[in-house]
């Protein structure tokens, strides 16, 4: 069985060491997911640039997409990280659990986004006209649709990396859905 390990600062390139230092300065630690990307010379920097791009979506909306996508893809690491980040963005515990299931009874616009995201991820981009109509009726635009897909793509990358490598989750473990 292949054992995947998370590299330490001393095991990565100088460029990635500088990124580790910036992450430690801004976050207080280097999340294992980010450290794992540093096994590749350019992946960590590329991923952080992609993840931090300007978006038409608010950070709270991006967390909805992250939570739904991570749940569908079965990524416990990202479910855990984004449960914490979702709460930092104002969601309550029970709201996070709803969002992970692909709906949000507490907010009609967030509900439309969660349902649309679920349809896009499960359908691999092939969604019904009703799904699109409901998304647009909630006040989202075609520019928002593009950003939803970009955030899904970002999260799929992380979900797949963790699902493949299975390194330790360094966030409070998200509860399992019942």
Can you give the pLDDT at residue 2? 78
Distant-in-sequence, close-in-space partners of 52: CB < 8 Å, separation ≥ 6: none
Q: What is the pLDDT of residue 169?
A: 97
Token pair 């515990």: residue: 93
The owner of tokens 């309550």 is: 92
Answer yes or no: is pLDDT of 72 > 90: yes
Report in angstroms the alpha-carbon separations of 37 from 2, 94, 134.
Answer: 17, 32, 37
If pLDDT is split at 50, 70 and 90, which confidence band does 13 have? very high
pLDDT band at residue 81, thresholds of 50, 70 and 90? very high
Taking the C-alpha atoms of residue 128 and residue 91, their distance in angstroms, rounded to an integer, is 28
115, 118, 124, 126: CA torsion to nearest 10: -20
Question: Hey, what domains does the chain have and what are their CATH numbers?
Answer: 10-51 (no CATH), 59-165 (1.20.1290.10)
> Per-residue confidence at 24, pLDDT binned at 50, 70, 90?
very high
Q: How confident is the model at residue 156 (pLDDT cuts 50, 70, 90)?
A: very high
This prediction has a pTM of 0.96
Instruction: Give the helix/strand (H/E) hosting 116.
Output: helix 108-122
Q: What residues contact 76, with CB distance under 8 A and at least 6 apart?
A: 162, 169, 173, 174
| Residue 76 Cα distances to 32, 140, 176, angstroms | 13, 29, 9
HSE, side-chain direction, 13 A CA sphere, residue 52: 7
């Amino acid at each position: 069985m292949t054992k995947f390990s998370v590299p330490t600062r001393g095991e990565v390139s100088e460029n990635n060491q500088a990124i580790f230092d910036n992450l430690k300065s801004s976050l207080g630690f280097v999340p294992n997911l980010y450290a794992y990307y540093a096994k590749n010379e350019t992946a960590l920097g590329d991923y952080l640039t992609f993840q931090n791009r300007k978006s038409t979506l608010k950070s709270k909306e991006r967390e909805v997409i992250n939570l739904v996508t991570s749940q569908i893809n079965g990524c416990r690491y990202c479910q855990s990280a984004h449960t914490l980040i979702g709460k930092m963005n104002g969601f309550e515990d029970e709201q996070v659990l709803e969002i992970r299931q692909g709906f949000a009874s507490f907010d009609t616009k967030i509900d439309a986004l969660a349902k649309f995201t679920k349809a896009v991820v499960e359908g691999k981009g092939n969604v019904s006209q009703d799904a699109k109509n409901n998304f647009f009726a909630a006040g989202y635009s075609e520019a928002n649709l593009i950003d939803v897909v970009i955030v899904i793509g970002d999260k799929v990358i992380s979900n797949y990396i963790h699902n493949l490598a299975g390194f330790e989750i360094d966030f409070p473990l998200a509860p399992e859905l019942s």
